[in-house]
Homo-oligomer: A and B are copies of this chain.
Amino acid sequence: MQYSKSTDYALHALLHLGHPERHANVGIKELSATLGVSESYLSKIMSKLRQDGIVRAVPGVNGGYELARPAGRITFLDVIQVMEGREQLFECSNSKSQQHQLLADDGADEPVRERRGNGECLVEKVMLGAQQHLHQYLQEHTIQSLLDEAFKRHFNLEGNKK
């Protein structure tokens, strides 16, 4: 259970695009060279980011990519969901509510069922909670906030050197 390399590449590419002293359009060549990823593969990723409105792309001479909105409004969650899809973290495979009566007192009049009629599995419920926690955290971190952090460190290091 790990985020894919595509997500890695996407995040780093966006950080490059979000750099304050970038010119408007960054070509796939520059991105490819910077990240050390092949142009062909990286362009697939950028294409996906474009389809989901994270970046804009312009073909032709001097074309390239740029962020479609301010870096502060591109969250980690946004990027991850584009690359990894929006399925939920966990799905109970016993959705047919078969003999899913984990807690059935055999022979009792009122078996306690772990899953109730409304298709609600308690395991799934816990995992949904986990997912919500995760997503909330990922939403609080944006391309911009990471850039800020990087610059903060830069200046701290500068200060220490003197």
Q: Which residues of A contact B (CB under 8 A)?
A: 1-5, 7-9, 11-12, 15-16, 19, 21, 33-36, 76, 80, 84-85, 87-94, 96, 98-103, 105-106, 110, 112, 114, 116, 122-123, 126-127, 129-130, 133-134, 137-138, 141, 146-147, 149-151, 153-154, 158
B-side contacts of A127, CB under 8 Å: 3, 76
A19: nearest chain-B partner, CB-CB: B103
Contact A2 B89 (CB under 8 A): yes
A11: nearest chain-B partner, CB-CB: B123
Contact B1 A102 (CB under 8 A): no
B-side contacts of A141, CB under 8 Å: 126, 129
Contact B146 A122 (CB under 8 A): yes
